[in-house]
Every structure is written in structure tokens, then in C-alpha cells.
Structure 1
Amino acid sequence: MLAGSTHVVAARMQGRFLLLLILCFVGFIALGLPDAVVGVAWPAIRADFDLQLDALGPLFIAATAGSVIASSFSGVVQLRLGIGRLLGLSCLLTAVALLGYTLAPAWWVMVALGLLTGLGAGAIDAAINTHAAVQYSARVVNVLHAFYAVGAAAGPALMTATLASGHRWQAGYLIIVAVEFALAVVFIATHKLWPRSSRHHENHRPARLIETLKLRKVQLSLVVFLLYTGCEAAAGAWIFSLLYEARGIATGAAGTAVTLYWIGLFASRLGYAFLPAQVRPGVVIGACIVAALAGVIALAANLHPLIDTVAITLIGFASGPIFPSLIAMTPARVGGQHTANAVGLQVSMAAIGLAALPALCGLSAQMLGLESIPLLLAACWIILLSAYWALARH
């Protein structure tokens, strides 16, 4: 009788584990879904509001500010609400903000709503990453992050299909609003299944945010996250311009190189699951940074268009496992008391890197030419390698 009861309990725990894992996969897809949509919708939005080409900047700034705020304080909020409720309310906030996009009477209203989309996205990003870091292995976290790319690719495809079928850009956003609302209902309905907060020692209270910030290893990790996400985003944003405008490579070939960059990033995250179990995440991160640096140096050398394409693919492939593996190592590095705060801060710095380094590359291109971009990226990868080496020593 006792054995039968134990079997039932084990089956229920396994079912709960599987359900939460599936919800994490869905959550990562939903997180990526709205991120890249605005790029496709921008010409139509710009025409509706009669805007200049560079008017998109304030929307990105507002969204980045919201993301930084939400992710920085996500650890504190998780302790009060729990991960399930936080995910549900964040999806609801994102849905309401995107619905506001479709109803905005003026561009400044849409920019203001961008702050809310950033708050929702930042909270979702930090909450799911915290749960994944505590509950799953590095290989599972890498696969989860690979599915973010699925959402990031699906959003533009959805908006493209919407516009191609003769509908306005608002219709594409309304579909995403429906998805976000549905996810909010699912997360709130299942909130009791989610852990209340990240694991910590029973005899110790969860750390305050300022206590986590004082840790040297947390400070180093923030530098690593800032640099890595900046390098990843800057390469994705400027590779096409470098190849097409500076090196005279045809549109199709330059576009193919950019596509291979993102395919490489997705493939390496998915492929991480097939690495031998004894391979440590820290070793993978170090090897990937060195490989990406080699690819950037080869790109800067400008030897041949084919070599450029191979180098770009290598950069994307080597970049893939770095972010999720760093997230997965956070609990072991900082301890359960600091995990939620540390992950939130890391996601916050990642958001800053996503905005700052591509902008810095643009400034460099304006002042020194597009060929300065791979040189700047090489310098950033070298600093990243040094920062990660210092972090690994801790």
C-alpha cells in the first residue's frame, strides 16, 4: 500500500515537473514573439504617425528602461507574488500595453506604452530565467533559450503575413495580444504549481538586493552579461551594413550571412543538449568566447567574402551557449539566497548591453567608417574574455 502511494506521489511530481517545463518553453516563445515585430511593422507605423526614420529610438529607450527596472527588482517581487503570479501579471501587462499600441492616437502615447511592454518583458525574462536556473541543468536552459529564437522569428513572420494579406499593422499586434492574454490566464491558473521562490537554505533569509550587489562575483557577472549581450546584438544589427555597404557584397549574400549568424546561434543552443554529461558549462563558455573572438578577428581581416560568411556563422554558433550557460551557473556561483536577485540584475544588465553596444557601433561607424565595427567588437570580446576569466576565479 505504501509503495503504491509513493508511486502515485512520484507520478504527480513528474507530471508537475513536465508541465512546468512545457510552460517554460511556451513562455520563452512568447517572450521572443513581440520583440522583433516592430521592425517589420515600422514602415507602416511611421506612415500612420507621419514620423521620421529615426523616431523609433525613443520607443526602444522606453522599452529598455522598463525592462531594466522590472528585471532589477524581480527578485523582490518574486518573494511577494511567487513566480507563477508574476509571470501571469507580466503577460497581462504586456497584453494591455500592446493593445494600447493598436489604439494609440499619437506616437508619444505608443512610446509611453513602450515602458509598460519593457516592464512586462523584463519581469517575464527574469522570472523564467530564475526558475530555469534553479530547477534545470545547463543543457535544458540552453534548449529553452533556443526556443526564444523561435518566438523572435515567428513574430516578424506573423506581421509580414498580416501586412501581405492587406491588413493593417494593428491586426498583427492584436494576434500577439490574444496570445499574451491566453498565457496570462494559464500562468495565473497554474500559479500554485510554481515554486514560491528560488531555493535557499532554510536557516537563512533571502538576501536583500543591496546585499547581492555587494558581492564581487555578482559585480563581475554583470560586466560579463553587459558585454556578451552587447556583442551578440551589435553583430546581428551591423553585419549586413558592413558586408553590403562597406565591402560591396550583394544583398542576397549579405542577407544570407546574417541568417546564418542567427541559425548558428539557435543551433548551438539546441546542440548543447547533446554534449556529454561530463562537459562542464564553464568550460563551454570559455571555449565559446575564444571561438567567437577568433571569428570576429577573421571578419576584421576582410580576406574574402566566403571567409567572411564562415566567420560570421562561427560567431553566431559560438555565441549561442554563453548566455543560457551563464544563467544556469548562477545558483552554484552565488548561492540560493542571492539567485533571484542575481538573475534579475543580470537580465537587467543584458538589456542595457542590447541597447548600448549597437548604438556605440553606430557612432563608431559614423565617425570612423563601418570597418571599425569588427575592430570594436574584437576589443569587446577581449574584455569579455578577461572579465569571464576573473569571474571564473571566484
Structure 2
Amino acid sequence: MATLFLMIIYLTFISLGLPDALLGVGWPEMYSELHVPQSFAGVVSITISLGTIASSFFSGKFIRRFGTGKLTAISVLSTAVALLGFYFAPSFLWVMLAAIPLGLGAGAVDAGLNDYVARHYQAHHMNWLHSFWGVGALTSPLIMGQVLAHGSSWRVGYLIVAIIQFLLVAILFLTLPMWRSREMRPLKVTPKTTEPDMKLVQLLQLKKVRLALYAFFLYIGVEATMGLWTSSYLISVKGIASDKAAIGVSIFFGFIMFGRLLSGFMSMMLSNRQLIQVGQLLILLGSVFVWLSASYAFLLFGISLIGFGCAPIYPAMLHETPQRFGQKIAQEIMGVQMAFSYTGSVVLPPLFGFLVPIVGMRSLPLFLLFYALMMWLASERLVKKIDQEKIRKKD
């Protein structure tokens, strides 16, 4: 039963990744049918992200009120209904309305499951959890691609993913007793804490919390900026053909997924702190390779290093949350961390795009280097701050 329960968690994270790439693949067909400019994809994407940020911020309160299992089931139901809304949408306005519950549901699932796994399972499960998200993120483009290749409407792609989500909703509601029984069990990690109850404003006043939020914001800045601008960089700066540039983007996300699978095994030998440091070093090295390389092979090698470096950082930082801040406030902080992560994906990639006319597309690796260095600085200052607190408590 324990293995079955863990597989349900993994399946839920696959479902979390499934909707993420549907919009990007389906939009070339969608915008003409909906009679809106091509640029309106950004409006839909930001709407989804804002919903995700909002639900992440308040996920701690929702978890305490409903429990992780019920919140997860309701949230996946929200995403399933939203995807069905995309299928039936008669106009762009309806797409925008459907984007709201899609973002709200995704944020609650993401924060809730990350908090649950961080508190109840070891580090390798957190890495594998995020590897399963990659399975979903890689599967949905294949679904939509096959639908469009066979001459069907983009709506069919959304319908197929909606059906998958509804099936998972049924599984989650049927297994709610399993969730309740496990949430009542003693935690497997992190000793008891004497941390007092704290409000969100009080949490944000803590220096170590702010340092953690900076690190999350900057990490997602690296990942999202790479995902959005790598193809443009390879084509316009390095003179790579568009089909080969697309391979570069796929390699980036593929190495994140593969790296998280491998990081699950590495976490049995290395601490979360060491995994984070190794990942940051690989991002720095990969950015230098992308900046200096002229050949396609070396460019792909640099992109692979960045993807492989990104792999362990996010799961390791999430898994460290209870250890860093204590069980009593971990749920609140987990949601806030998720919200700042999504904020980074909304702010930093468009910021680079806004600055391209001034600094040029060739500066992309320099931006990645800057983000990675600032992330490393915030992470190391956070570790130093926590170590100092431990020394003071011993004294």
C-alpha cells in the first residue's frame, strides 16, 4: 500500500506537468481560430502564472484546513475543468476565464505535494517527484503534436489531457482515506521544533526566509529564461537552423528530467546542500560554454550542462525547507517559495526580452551567469545564517 500511495503522488506530478506545454504547441492554431494576435499567448501564460502565484501564497492555510489529499483532489479537479473549458471555449475571453482555475489548481497541487514529500519522504523521492513532472511536460507536446499532425483541432489535444486529469481526480477521491491515515502518522524527517506560529508578514521579515526566496526566484529565472530564449539565441547569434535550435531546447528540458532521475540516486550519497552547489557550478560552466562556443556540438554540450545543473537545485531546496525553518512554519514557507519561483518565471524572461534591443541577444549567457552567481550568493549566505543560528542554540 505504501508503494501504491507513492505511485499516486508520482502520477499526480505527471498530471501537473501535462498542461504546461499545451499552450505553446497549440497556440499557432489557436490564435487564428480565436481571432487574436499571436502575441496574446503571453497574456494567457501570465494569467495562468498569476493564478499559480496566488494559490501558492495561501497553500499553507488551505493544507491546514482541508489536508493535502483533499486539497490535491480538488485542485486537480480544477485543472481538469479548466482544460475542458479550453476545449469548449467559443472565444478568447473564455480561454482567459479557463486560464484562471488552471493556474489556481496547479499552484495548490505543486505547493501541497512538495510540502508533503519534503516532510514525509527522503531527498531522493523529491528528485524523482520532479523527474515525473518532466515526464508530463514532455508528454503533452507529443499528444498535441500528434493531434495536429492528424489534422484534428487543437481542442482535441486539450480534451485528451482533460480526460486524463478527470481519471486522476477519480483515483484521488477514492484514495482520500489513505491520505488522511498517512497525514496523521509521525513525520519521518526533521526533529520537533519550538518555532512559534508566525504570520506571513512576520516570515518575510526573517533574513533567512528572504535569502531562500531570492534563491528560488533566481533559479526559476535561469530555467525559464533558458526555456524561452535558447532557440532565439542559437538562431540569431550562432547561426543555427531553426530545427537544430529546437533540438537544443529539447535537450535542455530532457537533461533536467534525466538529471532529476539521477539526482534521486545521488541524494543517497550527497547532502541537499552539496547537490545545490554542484548544480550551481554546472550552470556556471554551461553558461560559459554557450557564450564561448561556436560549434553546434559544443553549444549542445553547454546547454546540457545547464540543464543537468538545474536538475537537482529546485528539488533539493524544496526538500531542505523543513530542515531550514522547522516543521511549524514549513507549510507557510513552502507556499511562499513556490509563489516566488513562479514570480521569477513571470518577471525575468520578459525582462531579458525587454533589454535585448539595448544589450543584444548575444548577452543571454551573461544574464544566465549573473542569475546563477546571485543564486549561489543567496544560497551560501542562507547556509551561513542557518549554521550561525545552530551554533547560538548550542551555546
Confirm or deny that 1:132 pairs with 2:117: yes
Give the corresponding residue for 2:150. Answer: 165
Q: Is the partner of 1:36 in helix, strand or coil?
A: helix
1:236 to 213, 224, 227: 227
Query: Could you tell me how far 1:278 is from its partner in structure 2?
Result: 3.8
| Structure 1 contact 62–112 (Cα < 8 Å) conserved | no
What is the aligned partner in structure 2 of residue 61 from structure 1?
Answer: 46
Report how far residue 368 of structure 1 moved: 2.3
For 2:359, the equivalent position in structure 1 comes to 368
Q: Which one of 298, 310, 316 corresponds to residue 289 of structure 2? A: 298
- How far has the Cα of 1:241 moved from its partner? 0.9
Between 23-32 and 50-59, the greater mean CA deviation after superposition: 50-59
Maintained 8 Å contact 2:14/2:136: yes
* Cα distance in 1 between the residues matched to 2:156 and 2:383: 48
Q: Which residue of 2 aligns with 1:262?
A: 253
For residues 187 and 206 of structure 1, the distance between their equivalents in structure 2, rounded to whole angstroms, comes to 31
Is residue 212 from structure 1 mapped to residue 197 from structure 2 by the alignment?
Answer: no
1:83 counterpart letter in structure 2: T
- Is 1:30 paired with 2:15? yes
C-alpha displacement at 1:305, in angstroms? Answer: 3.2
Question: Which residue does 2:374 correspond to in 1?
Answer: 383
Q: After alignment, is 333-342 or 158-167 more displaced?
A: 158-167
Quote the Cα distance in structure 2 between the aligned partners of 1:227 and 1:34: 24
1:90 is the counterpart of 2:75: yes
- Contiguous gaps of at least 5 residues in structure 1: 1-14
Whole-angstrom CA distance in 1 between matches of 2:50 and 2:267? 40
**Partners of 1:103 and 1:276 in 2: CA distance:** 44
- CA distance in 1: counterparts of 2:381 and 2:85, whole angstroms: 45
Are the structure 2 counterparts of residues 203 and 244 from structure 1 closer, same or farther at C-alpha, using a change threshold of 3 Å? closer
Counterpart position of 1:10 = none
Q: Which residue is equivalent to 1:221?
A: 212
Residue from 331, 335, 343 that aligns with 2:334: 343
The equivalent of 1:316 in structure 2 is 307
> What is the alpha-carbon distance in structure 1 between the residues aligned to residue 267 and residue 144 of structure 2?
39
Q: Give structure 2 stretches of 5+ with no counterpart.
A: 387-395
**Aligned to 2:32, which of 38, 47, 59?**
47
Counterpart of 1:327 (choices 297, 314, 318) is 318
- Provide TM-score, normalisation by structure 2: 0.91
Q: CA deviation at 1:206?
A: 5.6
Q: Is 2:280 the counterpart of 1:289? A: yes
Aligned residue among 250, 268, 272 for 2:263: 272
- In structure 2, the residue corresponding to 1:321 is in which secondary structure? helix
Aligned partners of 1:295 and 1:314 also within 8 Å: yes
8 Å contact 2:224–2:345 — kept in the other structure?
A: yes
C-alpha separation in 2, matches of 1:212 and 1:180: 35
Provide TM-score, normalisation by structure 1: 0.91
For 1:156 and 1:286, the matched residues in 2 are separated by 32
CA contact (8 A) 1:364 1:373 kept: no
Q: Is the 8 A contact 1:364 1:372 kept in 2?
A: no
Q: 1:330-366 deviations in whole A, cap 9, x for unaligned? A: 1111111011111111111111111211111211223
Amino acid at match of 2:247: T
Q: Using the TM superposition, give the Cα deviation of residue 56 of structure 1 relative to its aligned residue in structure 2, in angstroms.
A: 0.9
Q: Which amino acid is 2:83 matched to?
A: L
Identity of aligned residues (%): 32
Kept after mapping to 2: 8 A contact 1:79/1:196: no
Cα offset, 1:70, TM superposition:
0.4
Verify the 8 A CA contact 1:78 1:196 in the aligned structure 2. no
Is 1:73 paired with 2:64? Answer: no
Aligned position for 1:6:
none
Deviations 1:350-392 (A, max 9, x none): 1111121111121122332210211111111111111111111
SS in 2 for 1:109: helix
- 8 Å CA contact 1:233, 1:358 repeated in 2: yes
Does residue 237 of structure 2 align to residue 246 of structure 1? yes
> Quick check: 283-292 or 24-33, which moved more?
283-292
C-alpha offsets along residues 153-178 of structure 1, whole Å, 9 cap, x if unaligned? 11111111112222211111111111
Tell me the equivalent position of 1:154. Answer: 139
Q: Runs of 4+ in structure 1 displaced over 6 angstroms?
A: 202-205
**C-alpha separation between the residues in 1 aligned to 2:41 and 2:271?**
41
Counterpart of 2:126 (choices 141, 144, 162) is 141
Q: CA deviation at 1:292?
A: 0.8
Equivalent residues of 2:126, 2:264 under 8 A apart: no
Tell me the amino acid that sits aligned with residue 154 of structure 1: T
Classify the secondary structure of the residue corresponding to 2:28: helix
Q: Distance in 2 between matches of 1:131 and 1:179?
A: 23
1:83-120 Cα offsets, whole Å, 9 max, x none, are 01000100111111111112222212211221211000
The whole-number CA distance in structure 2 between the counterparts of 1:231 and 1:87 is 28
